[in-house]
Structure 1
Amino acid sequence: MAQANPVYPVIWQTDHVLLIDQTRLPNEYDSVEVHRSEEMAIAIETMIVRGAPAIGVAAAYGVYLGARDIETGDRAEFLTQLEQIAERLRATRPTAVNLFWAIDQMMKVAYYTEGSVDAIKTVLLETARTINADDIRTCQQIGDHSLSILPSTPAKLRILTHCNAGALATAGYGTALGVVRSAWTAERLERVYADETRPRLQGAKLTAWECVQEGIPVTVITDNMAAHCMKIGMIDLVIVGADRIAANGDAANKIGTYSLSLVAKAHNIPFYVAAPLSTIDFAIADGAQIPIEERNPNEVYQIGDTILCPTTGVEFYNPAFDVTPAELITAIITEHGAIAPSELRDRLKAKSAIEI
């Protein structure tokens, strides 16, 4: 299959970061220049950049941008100010563990790098760029590993996905949509069915846009159509991404994922999670401990300038994520291959030997 120009949502540009403004897609393809750490924090909070791996990469650059602006040459004072910058970035999105993982990697480098403050700043930039490049390679490995575990029949698969776990949600290529890309390249894909993913419509706006860029056949359905589509035989498997996976295999992903897993189970359809090992939070025993971000209620009652329902005398609830229990997940597809959720604890024992 012919390959389209790759999409890279987070790019280092000599002295600043260039972000694709995902709030403007699919109607406008625009970018935002980020020169300061606070600008990066705002970009993450306002979902200019979104998706757990992409947020992690962006946050790594945010740490460097903050470090670059620290004027002191005193190492202890520098590290104190850098911790404040790291805390600001950690506060932007509470559920996506890749955010915390990337910031922790940057802070470890800051503490363990010997030499001057300028030397630390240099290594911080190198580390952020390495995190960026590693994420692209990791997503490609996830896609490659998926080919050996996808159902052998039918010859060409019809895959349902939820939210956006594509190139836009990572440093490039994607996790769940990376699996789709690999299946398309290997001529194992017939069509993608993209849940629209209320309330922010990432499936309709972003997943569909990415598929169009590469000529991948895509059909957008509303979230409440999934059960019907499965019942009449339109779906062969479900693949989603994840923002945080607990040690027991429970996985947090965009709101609506849990209900999708229940429907897939009812119809005996495989349900896969595609995510890098850095998304697994071994410090959390199960999904009950995963913090769930609640967002502004206006995302529920308003799309653009259109008000969808009464706003006076009505309450709104807007959790951004839900947790799918491990027993509903067929396998977690990582850069090290497919792992049954029950095997993650073994990974915990060996994690010191795994570079994540």
Structure 2
Amino acid sequence: MGTMIDTLPDTIRPIRYGDGALYLLDQRLLPGETHENRYVDAAGVAAAIRDMVVRGAPAIGITAAFGVVLACGAAAGSGRADWRGQVEQAIAQLAASRPTAVNLFWALDRMREVLASCPSAGEAHARALAEAERMLAADIAANRRLGAAGAELIEPGRAVLTHCNTGSLATGGFGTALGVIRSAWAQGRIREVFADETRPWLQGARLTAWELLHDGIPVHLLCEGAAASLLRLGQVGWVIVGADRIAANGDTANKIGTYGLALLAREHGVRFMVAAPVSTIDFDTSEGSGIPIEMRPESEVLELAGRAIAPPGSRGWNPAFDVTPARLIDAIVTEHGVVQRPDRERLVALREGIASR
């Protein structure tokens, strides 16, 4: 007899490894085209992360781990005695690809630990591959636990609003905020799903809407500017978002526009949930002001699909992320439990609870 988890809508896998190569679903082409790109070296993987072929903090971390696998394979094939230097150079290149997503650095640090005791490049390649595959499988399993925990907070009968893309495409599979939505939808807790379009890359329009419809969950797409009017109607019970980095005090960096949504939610009495794996919590960064915010090219806001939408001479201001203060967050949901009204003490308690298990 099947269980609820067997019937969850979950059919998308954006990252896979086989035949000595990494395959990434090119998210820049969605929803018009579904195409996998093939990568055989770490430089190509770093470029894929930087150029948004893959995006979303957990997916970036897993992808970088497989980039290290490719670097180890290249080092083993070269037969050079300085294989560690080769791999470390590749790791540095991967680390420079995007600065805000802490999962990137968490994954690379894990790979460094695995490689530290390897006597040869060949063994390093085998161990790195095993670790990257474990990370991918563990991410999907963790997202399912996270999704179930978040769904329990949602009172049935109302809608939810999400921002950017936090689903299978942003992770190894199932998703974080969309994992909560998938679980809640399967349980009949959610009446409707609303998704912001998410300028300038339109992740909500191109990716979130595509994912939800792909798995049979209807979605209403809205411009970010319509969110205030939507929340004022009283139809939305929760705003549910992901995170690229959570500071030790609970301040959360996520896709630009998240901070504004949190302010709107507080004004209208709508609860605000951050869904993210524990690896996203950066205990070395005390508060949100210490999180580096990636600035992306001006052209992304001055152009649309390669065509200018602003007059010549206009300048663009294009931060990829903003920081939502912990005081505006009602719950941080992780695979290891829920932190209500997050602050430094409650996040430390979460970490200590994990360590004691």
Partner Cα separation in structure 2 for residue 239 and residue 347 of structure 1? 20
Call closer, same or farther: CA 1:329–1:320 in 2, change over 3 Å: same
User: Alpha-carbon deviation of 1:235?
Assistant: 1.3
User: Alpha-carbon deviation of 1:143?
Assistant: 0.6
Partner Cα separation in structure 1 for residue 356 and residue 60 of structure 2? 25
1:103-182 equivalences in 2 (<5 Å): 103-113=108-118, 115-150=119-154, 152=155, 155-182=156-183
How many residues were matched structurally? 347
Partner Cα separation in structure 2 for residue 5 and residue 52 of structure 1? 19
1:255 equivalent in alignment to 2:292:
no
Partner Cα separation in structure 2 for residue 350 and residue 336 of structure 1? 9
Partner-residue secondary structure (3-state), 2:236: coil
1:248-327 equivalences in 2 (<5 Å): 248-312=249-313, 314-327=314-327
Partner-residue secondary structure (3-state), 1:345: helix
Which of 344, 349, 353 is matched with 2:347 structurally? 344
Partner-residue secondary structure (3-state), 2:32: coil
TM-score, normalised relative to structure 1: 0.94
Q: Between 299-308 and 132-141, report the one with greater CA deviation.
A: 299-308
User: Alpha-carbon deviation of 1:105?
Assistant: 0.4
TM-score, normalised relative to structure 2: 0.94
Q: Is the 8 A contact 1:301 1:311 kept in 2?
A: no
Partner-residue secondary structure (3-state), 1:236: strand
Aligned to 2:66: 61
1:69-108 equivalences in 2 (<5 Å): 69-70=74-75, 71-72=78-79, 74=81, 77-108=82-113
Q: Which ranges of 4 or more aligned residues in structure 1 deviate by more than 6 Å? A: none
Query: Could you report, residue by residue, the CA deviation over 1:222-243 in whole angstroms, capped at 9, with x for unpaired residues?
Result: 0011111011123111000000
Q: Is the 8 A contact 2:8 2:183 kept in 1?
A: no
Q: Is the 8 A contact 2:250 2:326 kept in 1?
A: yes
Q: Is the 8 A contact 1:41 1:92 kept in 2?
A: yes
The letter of the residue matching 1:126 is A
The letter of the residue matching 2:151 is L
Query: Could you report, residue by residue, the CA deviation over 1:180-213 in whole angstroms, capped at 9, with x for unpaired residues?
Result: 1001111111111000111111011100000110
Identity %: 45
The letter of the residue matching 1:260 is L
Q: Is the 8 A contact 1:3 1:214 kept in 2?
A: no
Segments of structure 2 that go 5 or more residues without pairing to the other structure are none
Q: Is the 8 A contact 1:79 1:111 kept in 2?
A: no
Partner Cα separation in structure 2 for residue 131 and residue 330 of structure 1? 29
1:36 equivalent in alignment to 2:63:
no
Partner Cα separation in structure 1 for residue 43 and residue 354 of structure 2? 33
Aligned to 1:212: 213
Segments of structure 1 that go 5 or more residues without pairing to the other structure are none
User: Alpha-carbon deviation of 1:351?
Assistant: 6.1
Partner Cα separation in structure 1 for residue 235 and residue 59 of structure 2? 31
Call closer, same or farther: CA 1:311–1:352 in 2, change over 3 Å: farther
Q: Between 122-131 and 2-11, report the one with greater CA deviation.
A: 2-11
Call closer, same or farther: CA 1:184–1:348 in 2, change over 3 Å: closer
1:45 equivalent in alignment to 2:50:
yes
The letter of the residue matching 1:49 is V
Q: Is the 8 A contact 2:151 2:181 kept in 1?
A: no
Q: Is the 8 A contact 2:72 2:122 kept in 1?
A: no
Aligned to 2:224: 223
Query: Could you report, residue by residue, the CA deviation over 1:43-92 in whole angstroms, capped at 9, with x for unpaired residues?
Result: 10110011000001100000110111112453xx2222211111100000
The letter of the residue matching 1:141 is R
Q: Is the 8 A contact 2:197 2:221 kept in 1?
A: yes
Partner-residue secondary structure (3-state), 1:172: coil
Q: Is the 8 A contact 1:190 1:217 kept in 2?
A: no
Partner Cα separation in structure 2 for residue 350 and residue 138 of structure 1? 16
Partner Cα separation in structure 1 for residue 293 and residue 93 of structure 2? 18
Partner Cα separation in structure 2 for residue 223 and residue 251 of structure 1? 19
Partner Cα separation in structure 2 for residue 5 and residue 346 of structure 1? 32
